[in-house]
Structure 1
Protein backbone atom coordinates (compact mmCIF):
# COMPACT_ATOMS: atom_id res chain seq x y z
CA UNK A 1 0.00 0.00 0.00
CA UNK A 2 2.86 2.38 0.78
CA UNK A 3 4.37 1.96 -2.69
CA UNK A 4 1.12 3.04 -4.33
CA UNK A 5 0.83 6.07 -2.07
CA UNK A 6 4.47 6.86 -2.63
CA UNK A 7 4.05 6.55 -6.41
CA UNK A 8 1.00 8.82 -6.28
CA UNK A 9 2.99 11.33 -4.25
CA UNK A 10 5.80 11.13 -6.81
CA UNK A 11 3.38 11.87 -9.65
CA UNK A 12 1.82 14.72 -7.68
CA UNK A 13 5.28 16.19 -7.05
CA UNK A 14 6.02 15.92 -10.77
CA UNK A 15 2.80 17.71 -11.71
CA UNK A 16 3.52 20.46 -9.19
CA UNK A 17 7.02 20.79 -10.61
CA UNK A 18 5.60 21.14 -14.12
CA UNK A 19 3.23 23.87 -12.97
CA UNK A 20 6.15 25.63 -11.27
CA UNK A 21 8.02 25.41 -14.57
CA UNK A 22 5.16 27.25 -16.24
CA UNK A 23 5.37 29.99 -13.60
CA UNK A 24 9.09 30.50 -14.06
CA UNK A 25 8.78 30.57 -17.84
CA UNK A 26 6.14 33.29 -17.70
CA UNK A 27 8.08 35.20 -15.04
CA UNK A 28 11.16 35.02 -17.26
CA UNK A 29 9.20 36.69 -20.06
CA UNK A 30 8.17 39.46 -17.67
CA UNK A 31 11.75 39.78 -16.39
CA UNK A 32 12.64 41.38 -19.73
CA UNK A 33 15.96 39.59 -20.09
CA UNK A 34 16.51 39.58 -16.31
CA UNK A 35 16.52 43.38 -16.21
CA UNK A 36 13.29 43.57 -14.22
CA UNK A 37 14.74 42.40 -10.90
CA UNK A 38 11.53 41.32 -9.09
CA UNK A 39 10.54 39.07 -11.99
CA UNK A 40 14.13 37.83 -12.31
CA UNK A 41 14.04 36.79 -8.64
CA UNK A 42 10.67 35.05 -9.14
CA UNK A 43 12.10 33.25 -12.18
CA UNK A 44 15.13 31.95 -10.31
CA UNK A 45 13.09 30.97 -7.25
CA UNK A 46 10.57 29.01 -9.31
CA UNK A 47 13.30 27.32 -11.35
CA UNK A 48 14.72 25.99 -8.10
CA UNK A 49 11.30 25.00 -6.73
CA UNK A 50 10.45 23.27 -9.99
CA UNK A 51 13.70 21.30 -9.94
CA UNK A 52 13.09 20.22 -6.35
CA UNK A 53 9.69 18.81 -7.32
CA UNK A 54 11.19 17.09 -10.37
CA UNK A 55 13.74 15.52 -8.05
CA UNK A 56 10.99 14.35 -5.68
CA UNK A 57 9.21 12.67 -8.57
CA UNK A 58 12.39 10.84 -9.58
CA UNK A 59 13.12 9.88 -5.96
CA UNK A 60 9.58 8.51 -5.76
CA UNK A 61 10.36 5.93 -8.41
CA UNK A 62 9.34 7.55 -11.68
CA UNK A 63 11.95 6.67 -14.33
CA UNK A 64 14.20 9.64 -15.18
CA UNK A 65 13.22 9.77 -18.86
CA UNK A 66 9.53 9.61 -18.07
CA UNK A 67 9.82 12.15 -15.25
CA UNK A 68 11.76 14.62 -17.36
CA UNK A 69 9.47 14.28 -20.38
CA UNK A 70 6.33 14.73 -18.27
CA UNK A 71 7.84 17.67 -16.36
CA UNK A 72 8.87 19.43 -19.57
CA UNK A 73 5.54 18.57 -21.24
CA UNK A 74 3.50 20.05 -18.41
CA UNK A 75 5.68 23.15 -18.45
CA UNK A 76 5.38 23.47 -22.22
CA UNK A 77 1.61 23.08 -22.26
CA UNK A 78 1.23 25.44 -19.32
CA UNK A 79 3.50 28.02 -20.96
CA UNK A 80 1.53 27.91 -24.21
CA UNK A 81 -1.75 28.32 -22.34
CA UNK A 82 -0.32 31.16 -20.23
CA UNK A 83 1.05 32.81 -23.36
CA UNK A 84 -2.36 32.69 -25.00
CA UNK A 85 -4.21 33.87 -21.88
CA UNK A 86 -1.76 36.52 -20.66
CA UNK A 87 0.32 37.62 -23.63
CA UNK A 88 -1.98 37.33 -26.62
CA UNK A 89 0.04 34.54 -28.23
CA UNK A 90 -1.64 32.92 -31.24
CA UNK A 91 -3.96 29.97 -30.64
CA UNK A 92 -4.56 28.39 -34.01
CA UNK A 93 -6.26 25.08 -34.60
CA UNK A 94 -3.05 23.32 -35.65
CA UNK A 95 -1.24 24.63 -32.55
CA UNK A 96 -4.02 23.31 -30.33
CA UNK A 97 -3.79 19.93 -32.07
CA UNK A 98 -0.10 19.71 -31.19
CA UNK A 99 -0.80 20.76 -27.59
CA UNK A 100 -3.36 17.94 -27.40
CA UNK A 101 -0.69 15.57 -28.72
CA UNK A 102 1.69 16.65 -25.93
CA UNK A 103 -1.05 16.09 -23.34
CA UNK A 104 -1.74 12.65 -24.84
CA UNK A 105 1.98 11.86 -24.59
CA UNK A 106 2.08 12.93 -20.94
CA UNK A 107 -0.93 10.74 -20.14
CA UNK A 108 0.53 7.84 -22.10
CA UNK A 109 3.84 8.06 -20.24
CA UNK A 110 2.02 8.14 -16.91
CA UNK A 111 -0.08 5.11 -17.80
CA UNK A 112 2.85 3.04 -19.05
CA UNK A 113 5.59 4.17 -16.64
CA UNK A 114 5.35 1.17 -14.30
CA UNK A 115 4.68 -1.56 -16.88
CA UNK A 116 8.13 -3.21 -16.71
CA UNK A 117 7.93 -3.51 -12.91
CA UNK A 118 4.43 -4.98 -13.12
CA UNK A 119 5.41 -7.43 -15.87
CA UNK A 120 8.34 -8.75 -13.80
CA UNK A 121 6.33 -9.24 -10.61
Structure 2
Protein backbone atom coordinates (compact mmCIF):
# COMPACT_ATOMS: atom_id res chain seq x y z
CA UNK A 1 0.00 0.00 0.00
CA UNK A 2 2.80 2.44 0.82
CA UNK A 3 4.27 1.94 -2.65
CA UNK A 4 0.99 3.24 -4.09
CA UNK A 5 1.19 6.19 -1.71
CA UNK A 6 4.78 6.81 -2.84
CA UNK A 7 3.77 6.73 -6.51
CA UNK A 8 0.99 9.24 -5.77
CA UNK A 9 3.54 11.42 -3.96
CA UNK A 10 5.67 11.34 -7.11
CA UNK A 11 2.69 12.30 -9.27
CA UNK A 12 1.98 15.30 -7.03
CA UNK A 13 5.69 16.14 -7.22
CA UNK A 14 5.14 16.75 -10.94
CA UNK A 15 2.47 19.33 -10.12
CA UNK A 16 4.68 21.99 -8.63
CA UNK A 17 7.04 22.57 -11.59
CA UNK A 18 3.98 22.44 -13.85
CA UNK A 19 2.25 25.13 -11.80
CA UNK A 20 5.38 27.30 -11.77
CA UNK A 21 5.73 26.96 -15.55
CA UNK A 22 2.06 27.80 -16.13
CA UNK A 23 2.29 30.81 -13.82
CA UNK A 24 5.04 32.25 -16.04
CA UNK A 25 2.88 32.30 -19.15
CA UNK A 26 -0.58 32.91 -17.73
CA UNK A 27 -2.54 35.87 -16.52
CA UNK A 28 -3.57 33.63 -13.59
CA UNK A 29 -0.22 33.69 -11.80
CA UNK A 30 -1.49 33.46 -8.22
CA UNK A 31 -3.80 30.45 -8.78
CA UNK A 32 -0.99 28.53 -10.52
CA UNK A 33 1.44 29.37 -7.74
CA UNK A 34 -1.23 28.19 -5.29
CA UNK A 35 -1.54 24.98 -7.29
CA UNK A 36 2.24 24.54 -6.98
CA UNK A 37 2.18 25.04 -3.22
CA UNK A 38 -0.74 22.63 -2.83
CA UNK A 39 1.02 20.03 -4.98
CA UNK A 40 4.20 20.37 -2.90
CA UNK A 41 2.28 20.03 0.35
CA UNK A 42 0.40 16.92 -0.74
CA UNK A 43 3.54 15.40 -2.24
CA UNK A 44 5.60 15.86 0.94
CA UNK A 45 2.77 14.56 3.14
CA UNK A 46 2.45 11.41 1.02
CA UNK A 47 6.23 10.93 1.01
CA UNK A 48 6.22 11.21 4.80
CA UNK A 49 3.51 8.56 4.98
CA UNK A 50 5.28 6.20 2.55
CA UNK A 51 8.53 6.40 4.52
CA UNK A 52 6.85 4.70 7.45
CA UNK A 53 7.60 1.35 5.78
CA UNK A 54 9.82 2.17 2.79
CA UNK A 55 13.47 3.01 3.55
CA UNK A 56 14.14 6.74 3.37
CA UNK A 57 16.80 6.57 0.64
CA UNK A 58 14.65 4.36 -1.56
CA UNK A 59 11.52 6.45 -1.02
CA UNK A 60 13.33 9.71 -1.76
CA UNK A 61 15.01 8.38 -4.91
CA UNK A 62 11.72 6.98 -6.25
CA UNK A 63 9.84 10.17 -5.36
CA UNK A 64 12.31 12.47 -7.09
CA UNK A 65 12.66 10.06 -10.02
CA UNK A 66 8.92 10.10 -10.68
CA UNK A 67 8.83 13.89 -10.33
CA UNK A 68 11.83 14.47 -12.59
CA UNK A 69 10.71 12.03 -15.28
CA UNK A 70 7.13 13.28 -15.19
CA UNK A 71 8.22 16.90 -15.49
CA UNK A 72 10.57 15.94 -18.32
CA UNK A 73 7.75 14.22 -20.23
CA UNK A 74 5.31 17.08 -19.63
CA UNK A 75 7.94 19.51 -20.91
CA UNK A 76 8.20 17.56 -24.15
CA UNK A 77 4.50 16.79 -24.63
CA UNK A 78 2.88 20.00 -23.42
CA UNK A 79 5.54 22.67 -23.86
CA UNK A 80 7.38 21.37 -26.93
CA UNK A 81 10.75 21.07 -25.22
CA UNK A 82 13.59 19.24 -26.93
CA UNK A 83 13.45 15.44 -27.08
CA UNK A 84 16.88 14.57 -28.37
CA UNK A 85 18.17 11.02 -28.18
CA UNK A 86 20.54 11.84 -25.32
CA UNK A 87 17.86 13.59 -23.26
CA UNK A 88 15.48 10.65 -23.67
CA UNK A 89 18.21 8.11 -22.89
CA UNK A 90 19.20 10.07 -19.80
CA UNK A 91 15.61 10.21 -18.55
CA UNK A 92 15.32 6.48 -19.28
CA UNK A 93 18.22 5.87 -16.90
CA UNK A 94 16.23 7.56 -14.15
CA UNK A 95 13.28 5.23 -14.84
CA UNK A 96 15.57 2.18 -14.87
CA UNK A 97 17.06 3.28 -11.54
CA UNK A 98 13.62 3.71 -9.96
CA UNK A 99 12.54 0.29 -11.22
CA UNK A 100 15.75 -1.23 -9.86
CA UNK A 101 15.14 0.27 -6.43
CA UNK A 102 11.62 -1.14 -6.38
CA UNK A 103 12.64 -4.60 -7.57
CA UNK A 104 15.60 -4.93 -5.22
CA UNK A 105 14.16 -3.07 -2.24
CA UNK A 106 13.40 -4.46 1.19
CA UNK A 107 9.68 -3.73 0.88
Give the TM-score, by structure 1 length.
Answer: 0.82
- Written as runs of structure 1 = structure 2, the 5 A alignment for 1:93-104 is 93-104=85-96
Structure 2: where are the runs of 5+ without partners? none
> Which of structures 1 and 2 has the bigger CA Rg?
1
User: Deviation above 4 Å: which 4+ runs of structure 1?
Assistant: none
CA shift at 1:56, angstroms?
Answer: 1.4
Asked if residue 53 in structure 1 is aligned to residue 46 in structure 2, the reply is yes
Q: Normalization by structure 2: what TM-score?
A: 0.92
In structure 1, stretches of 5+ residues that fail to align are: 1-8, 116-121
CA RMSD of aligned residues (A): 1.6
For the pair 1:65 / 2:57, whether they are aligned, the reply is: yes
1-structure distance, mates of 2:49, 2:78: 30
